[in-house]
Amino acid sequence: MPSTDHPRAAVAPASVPPKGPVLADGESARTVSLPGLSLVVRSRRAAGTPGDGERVPQPALFVHGLGGSSQNWSALMARLTDLVDGQAVDLPGFGHSPPPDDGNYTIAGHARAVIRLLDAEGRGPVHLFGNSMGGAVSVKVAATRPDLVRTLTLVSPALPEVPPQLTAWPTALAAMPGVVALYDRLTRDWTPERRTAALLGLCYGDPSSVPENVRADASREYQRRLDLPYFWDVMVRSTRGIVDAYTIGGQHALWRQAERVLAPTLLVYGGRDKLVSVRRARRAARAFRDRRLLIIPDSGHVAMMEHPALVDRAFRDLLHEIAVREDGEGGVDAVGAPGTGSGPAGPRDAAGTGSPGDRDRGTGPTTAAATGS
């Protein structure tokens, strides 16, 4: 990774005295301490003990987006307990993880944190999931350390789109000096509930689908983060990290990194995403060599929260396809549709309906703040 990915900290590292994260039933949390870095990791152990001939659950790691946390993955993790031994990380400065000592919030810096976590715990290769900024981070991890990644699932990954769609401009502008201070003055009188409503309107295709109790939990979490002395510094510097990653050329460019990914890849895009345009789906489908594409027409930016059932089903279909391929029994025609072909898997496309019957409403605390790319 280029030396330009190692900026010096703009402010001194801040200590964090937070209460522990809010956990769904069946979840636990712990802190992994590494030199210059502490990461809070949310875990959901695989359900039951495999019997003879049953699939042994494999390790999975979930990476959130800008302004998000490990809590964003609770609903999907709960659905996958029969398949994976899941862990979700709070990236440095987000959720309940304190800022890193070096103040590095670039995409490459976050990717190094993920790699260090996986190396320290010896969990690789994992099924790696990433949303938004976490999707870009996961692409970098998969491209630079293919030995750590078994499969790659990207939900609205923040891959370069220049210029971004109009609804994403306010988030991108946060990287500019003075914009956050102006926003803070303009919204100083906003209640946590109003801030949360604006956030859900940005991230969800249908914000009305979020139950009131989940909105209340999200409001309390949003206020907790706003009270952290380093909140805006982390947000601004991480946003700048995304913008910088969009402009890096050569072998370190994110689209070039995507072309290097060897792991079977599931791409999930939302038709109502205000932050990552669904138009990027076709380019992503061309960039990843072994990919499947799922478009959920009425989903927003966080399909794993808004439509966990559809993402769950697509991931299961991905594993089924891989198993069929490895057994030499043929390929599949589309996500979830067994076929009779043979040989290496090619591109697979599917479109989710996103119908209300497929929506998981309020399984655990699934609506932690998740802003933008």
Within the chain, strands assigned E span: 27-34, 37-44, 58-63, 84-89, 126-131, 149-155, 265-270, 291-296, 332-334, 337-338, 348-351
Report d(CA 143, CA 76) in Å as an integer.
Answer: 24
Cis link prior to 163 (omega < 30° from 0)?
A: yes
Number of domains within the chain: 1
Report d(CA 283, CA 74) in Å as an integer.
Answer: 29
Smallest CA-to-CA distance from 114 within 87, 150, 153 is with: 87
For 251, the domain range is 3-47+55-358
CATH for 179 = 3.40.50.1820
Single-letter amino acid, residue 39: L
pLDDT band for 368, please (50, 70, 90 cuts): very low
Per-residue pLDDT reduced to its tens digit, 187-237: 777 888 998 998 999 899 999 999 999 999 999 998 999 899 999 899 889
Smallest CA-to-CA distance from 203 within 189, 222, 188 is with: 222
Smallest CA-to-CA distance from 111 within 80, 82, 85, 143 is with: 143
Q: Is residue 369 part of a domain?
A: no
* Pick from 181-195, 211-225, 243-257, 285-299: least confident: 181-195
Per-residue pLDDT reduced to its tens digit, 24-74: 999 999 999 999 999 999 999 887 655 545 567 899 999 999 999 999 999
Report d(CA 68, CA 244) in Å as an integer.
Answer: 20
Coil vs helix vs strand at 51: coil
Q: Is residue 100 part of a domain?
A: yes
* Pick from 147-151, 194-198, 246-250, 305-309: least confident: 246-250
Residue 182 is predicted with a pLDDT of 61
Whether residue 1 contacts residue 253, with contact meaning beta carbons closer than 8 Å, is answered with no
Q: Is residue 370 part of a domain?
A: no
Coil vs helix vs strand at 149: strand
Q: Torsion-angle region of residue 329: left (phi > 0), alpha (psi -120 to 50) or beta?
A: alpha
Smallest CA-to-CA distance from 371 within 174, 191, 189 is with: 174
Report d(CA 164, CA 253) in Å as an integer.
Answer: 17
Smallest CA-to-CA distance from 158 within 291, 93, 61, 67 is with: 67
Q: Is residue 371 part of a domain?
A: no
Residue 246 is predicted with a pLDDT of 85
Q: What is the mean pLDDT of residues 271-290?
A: 94
Q: Is residue 305 part of a domain?
A: yes
Q: Is residue 368 part of a domain?
A: no
Q: Is residue 278 part of a domain?
A: yes
Report d(CA 37, CA 305) in Å as an integer.
Answer: 28
Share of the chain above pLDDT 70, in %: 74
Q: What's the number of CA atoms in the CB half-sphere (13 Å) around residue 55?
A: 15
Q: What is the mean pLDDT of residues 102-131?
A: 96
Q: What is the mean pLDDT of residues 135-152?
A: 98
Sign of CA dihedral 370, 282, 277, 336: negative
The CA-CA-CA angle for residues 304, 261, 114, to 5°, reads: 60
Structure tokens at 32: 């992994």
pLDDT tops 60 at residue 277: yes
